[in-house]
Amino acid sequence: MSGPALPAGVARIEVPSPFAIGAVNCWLLEGDPLTVVDPGPNTPESLAALEAGLAEHGRRVEDVELVLLTHQHHDHVGLAEEVRGRSGAGVAAVPPLARFLADFDASMDADDAYAVAMMERHGVEPGVAAELSALSRGWRHVGRGVRVDRLLEEGQVVQAGSREWRVHRRPGHSPTDTVFHAEDEQVLLGGDHLLERVSSNPVLHAPIGIADPAARAASADRPRPLRDYLASFARTRELEVALVLPGHGDAFAGHRELIAERERMHVRRADKIAASVDGSTTAADIARTLWRRLAVSQAFLALSEVLGHVDLLEAEGRVHELDEGGVVRLAPGPG
């Protein structure tokens, strides 16, 4: 394994995923309670890798005492129920994530309905939106619900392995993103909040527990995930962190430098998007211009990225939305 040395009693188990991001990190925290963080997606290959990784450290799935979850995405939570069922482990997560996982199918139905409404409202052809919704449903088995029996609140300290970790909500990449900070050793379990090699998308997710996701897509108070993400970056910058244990890729140092780099990237992208707005452009048009060879399967993530930057520009008065029969076009603002 490359990257900085890991703290004593911490091991990385790389679990394959069927997604473009590749393997997910399941962090094994030795001690009391024996803990796994984000056990991986619900596939036979992932389960076999988790079992093999635990065996390398003299452990079995049945030995796990706590499952700690960082956010709602399939590649992180899919095996949580398998581990809980075989070991009797407790499952710990923040309350919004617990609500999402309590009825996984209903949560995913809401997410898919919101995604389709957002895509059609912002210029994605209805046929493409329907195709992407079907694709999402086809991947649903990779995730799985689980009962969370330990609710973690902001600022709470949770014992996992031989360390105490302070809980911090960090929405942006998803509404449920959570990081865990071992303050004495300055170690951060970062999930997908901070990744060294790639910038996590500010994904357009339905608010947890919403009754009418399509209506929220057209509402002025719809979620603004990139604005949330940048606010989360600002809070993470304040933490003393010597080592980040991310959801994908090697452990790394230099979290403040990475955050500054990501912030500059978002400013550059927002400026580029602002220059292409002319009153007739949709967010989907901009996505197709920015990523000319984009696979259809990535169209929703690209739209999420563009709309995140449009939200920044709108807040600055540089762009405003024109609703034309339920389709939003973007015009330059007075700012």
The per-residue pLDDT for 335 is: 63
The answer to whether 2 and 36 are in contact (CB under 8 A) is no
Strand, coil or helix: 267: helix
The per-residue pLDDT for 295 is: 79
Binning the chain into helix, strand and coil, the percentages to the nearest 5 are: 40, 20, 40
The answer to whether 270 and 312 are in contact (CB under 8 A) is yes
pLDDT in tens, 136-191: 999 999 999 999 999 999 999 999 999 999 999 999 999 999 999 999 999 999 99
The per-residue pLDDT for 298 is: 84
- Domains annotated on the chain, with CATH: 10-270 (3.60.15.10)
CA dist 56 and 71 (Å) reads 26
What percent of the chain stands above pLDDT 90? 91
CA dist 45 and 24 (Å) reads 12
Cβ contacts of residue 125 below 8 Å, gap of 6+? none
pLDDT in tens, 224-261: 999 999 999 999 999 999 999 999 999 999 999 999 99
CA dist 26 and 44 (Å) reads 16
Tell whether the model's pLDDT for residue 1 goes beyond 70: no
Query: pTM value?
Result: 0.96
Tell me the pLDDT of the chain averaged across its residues: 95
Eight-class DSSP state of 184:
T
The per-residue pLDDT for 15 is: 98
CA dist 79 and 145 (Å) reads 9
The per-residue pLDDT for 293 is: 79
Q: How sure is the predictor about 92, in pLDDT bands with cuts at 50, 70 and 90?
A: very high
Tell whether the model's pLDDT for residue 23 goes beyond 70: yes
The answer to whether 188 and 243 are in contact (CB under 8 A) is yes
Helix (H) or strand (E) holding 180, with range, is strand 178-182
CA dist 63 and 221 (Å) reads 45
The answer to whether 329 and 161 are in contact (CB under 8 A) is no
CA dist 25 and 70 (Å) reads 11
Q: Which amino acid is at 183?
A: E
Eight-class DSSP state of 10:
E
The answer to whether 13 and 1 are in contact (CB under 8 A) is no
CB atoms within 10 A of CB 210: 16
The per-residue pLDDT for 73 is: 97
pLDDT in tens, 28-54: 999 999 999 999 999 999 999 999 999
Tell whether the model's pLDDT for residue 3 goes beyond 80: no
Tell whether the model's pLDDT for residue 200 goes beyond 80: yes
